[in-house]
Amino acid sequence: MILIGLTGKYCSGKSTVCDYLKSKSFYYKSLSDVLREVLKKEGIPETRENLIAKGNELRERQGNAVLSKILIDNLERDKNYVIDSLRNPDEIKAFQELGTFHLWNIEAPEDKRFERILERKREGDPKTLEEFKQLEEKESHSDNESAQQLNKCAEMAEHLIENNGPMAELFEKVDTLLLQTPMDFKRPSWDEYFLNIAKEVAMRSNCVKRKVAAVIVKDKRIISTGYNGTPRGVKNCNEGGCTRCNSFSKGGTKLDECLCSHAEENAIVQSAYHGTPLNGSIIYTTFSPCLTCSKMIINAGIKKVIYNAEYPLGDTALEMLKEAGVELEKIEF
């Protein structure tokens, strides 16, 4: 993931750079859009003055990085992003903590920027050079640490892009910086990869007490998956199919009354159903296997069990797996 953050004063060219990066498959995110959503929910008109006031209010109430944190929570690791509207140093610091963030400051001469602001004819924009200067002064620095601090943001930038020439020249500067930007390739290990898949498979479980999943892999290829729940053709646990689970019986009790099949059991049975041999495979489970599932793992010829958390009643099962020569490994997230 690459995160390019942009800061700069009015009409310096940030939107143009954003659009150019979007054309190169970057996804666009703006802290101003976060504010717009807040104003919309509160029924407040979306003017520049209201955006500034609401941003200052949120930073004072919830911390200067509140807008960045809201945005960060919605980022996906498999995408590259360009982040616009960074106007407070703490907003930038929140992104810097991610380790894949690079801040660019876009600058342009004042007279050119004022020409652009008149050309765009946006409602609420200053109409005279004096109004323009007053608004910029207000946004550039303040004694209030929660207010906009564009000068301090500019000082934090890794790179300065001077937008004082034709657009082609601006794009050339962006391309040069982009090629110099280090990329984050923190790929998960194979074990993390398959365990993460198992955690997603667990979301298919229909058990009301605990969602568990197993993924069986051979030669780095998934050959079977399973999650806990009632057998095929039996009413789902979450629809009342298993009385034991729906009464939330104390852990370890009434196990002989539980109608739910375990994740490892289902993964092994699915392999048998489709005629796929498991000898020499690895099973990834979100919980270590119970005694019954461990017997099936041993007899199916599975060579290794990799699990994320320990099953509360699994000590005897783990000892038996060890005795049978099955490798065990616990990987915590």
Catalytic residues: 264
Q: Where are the alpha helices (DSSP H) in 223-262?
A: 243-246
For 216, phi then psi, to 5°, come to: -105, 130
CA distance 29 to 34: 9
Give the number of C-alpha atoms closer than 13 A to the C-alpha of residue 83, restricted to the C-beta side: 29
Query: How crowded is the C-beta side of 221, counted as CA atoms within 13 Å?
Result: 6
In the three-class reduction of DSSP (H, G, I as helix; E, B as strand; rest coil), residue 271 is classed as: helix
Report the SS3 class of residue 5: strand
| Alpha carbons within 13 A on the beta-carbon side of 234 | 17
Residue 1 burial by Cβ neighbours in a 10 Å radius (0-12, 13-18, 19+): middle
Give the Å distances, CA to CA, from 321 to 100, 227, 231, 263, 273: 42, 21, 26, 17, 24
Instruction: List, in sequence order, the alpha helices (H) in the chain.
Output: 14-22, 31-42, 48-62, 66-72, 89-96, 110-120, 129-140, 150-155, 167-180, 190-201, 243-246, 263-273, 291-300, 315-323
Q: Output Rg (C-alpha) for the chain, integer angstroms.
A: 28
